[in-house]
Amino acid sequence: MVSLASAVLPILRILPPETAHALTLRGLAQGLVPAARGAPDPVLRSTLWGREFPNPIGLAAGFDKDALVPDAMLRLGFGFVEIGSVTPRPQRGNPKPRIFRLSGDGAVINRLGFNNAGLAVAAERLAARRGRGGIVGANIGKNRDTGDPYADYEECVRVMAPLADYLVVNISSPNTPGVRDLQRRQHVAILIDKLMAVRRATVAVAPPPLFVKIAPDLTEEERADLAEVAVSSGIDGLIISNTTIARPPGLRGSRVHEPGGLSGKPLFLPSTALLAEMYRRTGGRVRLIGVGGITKGADAYAKIRAGASLVQLYTGLVYQGPALIQRITDDLAVLLRRDGFDSVAAAVGSGG
């Protein structure tokens, strides 16, 4: 795995980002990247929402929008994989170019705009992998030109609830007009209530957990409101966080002022600070998944200690390739044992 990635990665970096991504998906679909070595360290295992996670390192949404390669990504060593964002109808997204590497910053700016082949395509692929094992979640969004955003999310839950191991309500993408407005208290409470009702009606026994993914650019009032709604609504968890529209000082990339969401290393500190804040605000009563800027085991460990039961990454793969997954899981196991923890669960929230 390491030697193949080492040979291919420099070539992919020369190509335009979307071309490189498409070729990566094609290679994964054809099995060109071998499986990770060995079984995960037992200290990394977790049982959450009745599901067994072999390790807490997940693939964030955005990499595999159309559920093309979830099994290939699981074989690379991820403990779970999230496909999407998926919208009810196929969507072309925003005009190209719409992805920009900031290589010197270990970052990426994207303004994709929920480009995907639509709900029916992703659902068919998830249905075809039934019985294969491994945890695969679905991230859902609304179409850009929808007249009823609530109905779009309801339709996605109705179709995906019987197929996915968990569902993520993406109301925090900065690249589709109106999406982030749904984070406001008066909207998010209604949305969660509607989606939980659809989930109950669709899967009566052991329904998939339902999460909401939030932005790192919230005001203090919005953060307080979201924490209160998360606790009172009975939602299963929050994913913290999506990309940021902020541009932290010190960025060196020549495309730093491109509109869109920033991901990668510069997102690590603000997303981890928000994670810790939401853990405090919810009193640990809502499970959290930490995303943003993870490039090594110490980063994953910091998010766990800040309150995350699981973590996710994507941009780190762009610069370090699939070998990053094994390095993170190996290093995380060492860090947990060093500090006397016999499980990931024991370390959650221990940093604050």
Active site residues: 173
Distance between first and last Cα of the chain: 37
Residue pair 297/342 in contact (Cβ under 8 Å)? The answer is: no
For residues 269 and 311, give the distance between their C-alpha atoms in angstroms, rounded to a whole number. Answer: 14
The torsion region of residue 44 among left (phi > 0), alpha (psi -120 to 50) and beta comes to alpha
| Cis previous bond, 232, omega within 30 | no
Residue 232 phi, psi dihedral angles, 5° rounding: -75, -25
172 in Cβ contact with 241 (< 8 Å): yes
Q: How far apart are CA 147 and CA 34, in angstroms?
A: 44
Residue 339, token pair as written in the block: 């500090």
Return the structure tokens found at 65.
């929008």
